Amino acid sequence: MVPPTATATAPNPRVGSPDGPAIKDPAKDTILTPRFYTTDFDAMAAMDLRPNEAELEAICEEFRKDYNRHHFVRNDEFEGAAEKLDPTSRKVFIEFLEQSCTSEFSGFLLYKELSRRIKQKNPLLAECFAHMARDEARHAGFLNKSMSDFGLQLDLGFLTASKAYTKFSPEHIFYATYLSEKIGYWRYIAIYRHLEKHPESKIFPIFNFFENWCQDENRHGDFFDALMKAVPSTVTGWKSRLWCRFFLLAVFATMYVRDVARKEFYEALGLDAREYDKYVIAKTNETSARIFPVVLDVENPRFWSGLEHLVSNNDQLTKADESTAPAPIKALRKLPYWIGNGVEMARLFLMAPIRSEKYQPAVR
Ligand SMILES: [Fe+2]
Ligand SMILES: [Fe+2]
């Protein structure tokens, strides 16, 4: 797939130089690593926003205010902070920075390309995307700067050109980005509030920035909420009910499996990965009920035992990957767990969802 042509942030001339931070090899792409997206730009440009234009205009006006213009400024607290981390926390924290930076950057690329490609035909939408690209570039840049405190930096230009792009229709982009913005909000705010109560677990000063940061993500999520209301077919009818279930499950399951596999990072913050994810999933599900026609029954214990099944399959897949066996033997060992994951995802998908009309008195 042809990647978007949006230019990445200007390369840091010190990167790769003898005294500059080393360029970190991007993490291997797996089903659990953040993806880059592209979409049908003509369909997006042709969208008629009139059914909810006033709300979109109001959100755009909020974006113009650029509340976090002066927020992402590094202070003295960063000086020497990286050296204070013990080796285990350091390793898992760098992984966290890399993954977060890649996700933020993925948002930047998509929003930037959308704003550029639909500018002529759909100026209001283009302007909103440009403001969101501005925010995501700031987030990614701030995370990447923290990576350089550890002597590493992601080569975002290389990532732009080399990573595979997944193409989604506009409505699927709405579901996926709405969820990633809202889940991002709940993830950041949950960590921020926890560390407010347990300052002794604040392993790096970047967490001080999470409160205002997550408000950006919340506004981005509200923008997609308003956009789906402008195009009511995206959140009405049986097709949208099936797709919303699918995206909720895919996003929740991926996050749960990934976070449990990296539970050491949460432990370093004094959090239990499972408890943290349960909270974030429940909150994101509840928020999604304001716009999605259905949400998942996350109070059903069957939902969590299904996710645990995916976790144990994932452990076995990792073990098989780490073995020194030849590739065909590895593939053979992995096959039952891949099948197991497929069956479990199908079971979870078929669980009765919750209709969310009662949470949306004014929507439709
Ligand atoms: Fe962001
Ligand atoms: Fe965002």
Give the pLDDT score at 34.
76
Question: Which protein residues have their CB within 5 A of the ion that is ligand 1?
Answer: 104, 136, 139
Condensed to tens digits (0 to 9), the pLDDT of residues 147-157 reads: 999 988 888 88
What single string gives the DSSP state of each residue in 39-106? E-HHHHHT---GGGHHHHHHHHHHHHH-TTTTT----GGGTTTGGGS-HHHHHHHHHHHHHHHHHHHH
Entry pTM: 0.90
Q: Which residues in the chain show pLDDT less than 70?
A: 1-20, 25-32, 361-364
Task: Say how many Å lie between the CA of residue 98 and the centre of ligand 1.
Answer: 14
Task: Say how many Å lie between the CA of residue 42 and the centre of ligand 2.
Answer: 23
Task: Say how many Å lie between the CA of residue 206 and the centre of ligand 1.
Answer: 14
Give the pLDDT score at 364.
43
Task: Say how many Å lie between the CA of residue 23 and the centre of ligand 1.
Answer: 22
Give the pLDDT score at 160.
85
Task: Say how many Å lie between the CA of residue 133 and the centre of ligand 1.
Answer: 9
Give the pLDDT score at 354.
95
Condensed to tens digits (0 to 9), the pLDDT of residues 101-120 reads: 999 999 999 999 999 999 99
Give the pLDDT score at 241.
97
Give the pLDDT score at 357.
82
Q: In residues, how long is the chain?
A: 364
Task: Say how many Å lie between the CA of residue 338 and the centre of ligand 2.
Answer: 32
C-alpha distances in angstroms, 69 versus 65, 110, 124, 138? 9, 21, 21, 9
Residues 57, 275: Cα–Cα separation, whole Å: 38
- Do residues 91 and 26 make contact, with C-beta atoms less than 8 angstroms apart? no
Question: How many angstroms from the chain centroid is the CA of residue 158?
Answer: 20
Residues 292, 296: Cα–Cα separation, whole Å: 10
Instruction: Annotate 257-294 with b (16+ C-beta within 10 A) or e (fewer).
Output: bbbbebbebbebbebebbebbeebbebbbebbbebbbb
Task: Say how many Å lie between the CA of residue 339 and the centre of ligand 1.
Answer: 34
Give the pLDDT score at 227.
97
